[in-house]
């Protein structure tokens, strides 16, 4: 997978929040095979102020590429400022841009999102915008300079999977050359596999792994599901049919209807 001219060996992006311990997080990243991990500037700053100052070193040691995010921002100005600080702290121009517009659904604010994306792209950031499946918003983000889009599968942390699958399929077909990463709402490996089977380029998830009974095993399951879904998509999935079609040829079968009896 190639994102902003960077080749990545995995199509799974993994969040780093809510794990029971740093050791479990480290093991989950390794088990998932994720090539990119996301981290919130605000959470890292809070850890640095207390006893968890080794968190940054732990992330670096994972070998995965860091994608800082602007989680918790509700205005374009707030998101831009957070992104600028993240570039200084983490030493990368990659930024996952989140501008939340609704406190309950955590749905992004499309107007503030486009505004912030335009400013950040002009400043040389390589922006990964967390958005919905809306086609018009997608076009505006591309016009702003984004080269990757991250439409949600469902509200963050909900585990509902691809809640608006038909709209996501339309987005995929409408933008065949744009890298599209399903971000948020996935709760099961099968949902991740389904996203990949539909032709999406990658998935990003956090809660489904971090809050699992065994986060390391779940991380491994998601890594396998993403890989399997992509292979299935590239191999060419069988289309659904309205009627049964026998898998065994009828021609050439022996006639066992002896003596005319039924």
Binding annotation for 1-deoxy-D-xylulose 5-phosphate = 157, 184-185, 206-207
For the question of residue 96 being annotated catalytic, the response is yes
Residue stretches of the annotated binding site: 157, 184-185, 206-207
Residue reference for tokens 């740093």:
22
Q: Which residues contact 250 (CB under 8 A, 6 or more apart)?
A: none
Dist. CA 170–CA 155, nearest whole Å: 19
Dist. CA 130–CA 148, nearest whole Å: 10
Give 3-state DSSP helix, strand, coil % of the chain, rounded to 5. Answer: 45, 15, 40
Residue 66, classed as helix, strand or coil, is: strand
- Identify any residues that bridge with 39 across adjacent strands, giving them in sequence order: 68
Pick from 196, 214, 210, 223: nearest CA to 30: 223
Q: At 197, phi and psi to the nearest 5?
A: -65, -25
Pick from 159, 80, 151: nearest CA to 112: 80
- Total Cβ atoms within 10 A of residue 260: 5
Catalytic residue among 11, 87, 96, 220: 96
Q: Any idea which residues carry the catalytic annotation?
A: 96
């Amino acid at each position: 997978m190639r994102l902003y001219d960077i080749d990545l060996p995995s199509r799974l992006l993994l969040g780093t929040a809510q794990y029971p311990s740093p050791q479990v997080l480290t093991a989950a990243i390794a088990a998932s095979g994720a090539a990119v991990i996301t981290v919130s500037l605000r959470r890292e700053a809070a850890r640095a102020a207390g006893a968890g100052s080794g968190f940054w070193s732990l992330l670096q040691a994972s070998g995965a590429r860091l994608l800082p995010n602007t989680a918790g921002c509700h205005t374009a100005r707030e998101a831009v400022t957070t992104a600028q600080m993240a570039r200084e702290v983490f030493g990368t121009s990659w930024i996952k841009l989140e501008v939340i517009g609704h406190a309950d659904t955590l749905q992004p604010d499309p107007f503030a999102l486009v505004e912030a994306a335009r400013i950040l792209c002009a400043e040389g950031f390589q922006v990964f915008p967390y958005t919905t499946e809306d086609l018009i918003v997608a076009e505006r983000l591309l016009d702003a300079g984004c080269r990757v889009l991250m439409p949600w599968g469902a509200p963050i942390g909900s585990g509902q999977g691809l809640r608006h699958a038909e709209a996501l399929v339309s987005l995929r077909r409408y933008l065949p050359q744009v890298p599209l990463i399903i971000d948020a709402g996935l709760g099961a490996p099968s949902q991740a596999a389904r996203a990949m089977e539909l032709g999406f380029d990658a998935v990003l998830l956090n809660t489904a792994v971090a809050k699992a009974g065994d986060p390391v095993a779940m991380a491994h399951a998601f890594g396998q599901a993403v890989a399997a879904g992509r292979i299935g998509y590239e191999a060419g999935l069988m289309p659904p049919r309205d009627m049964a079609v026998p898998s065994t040829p009828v021609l050439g079968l022996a006639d066992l209807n002896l003596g005319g009896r039924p």
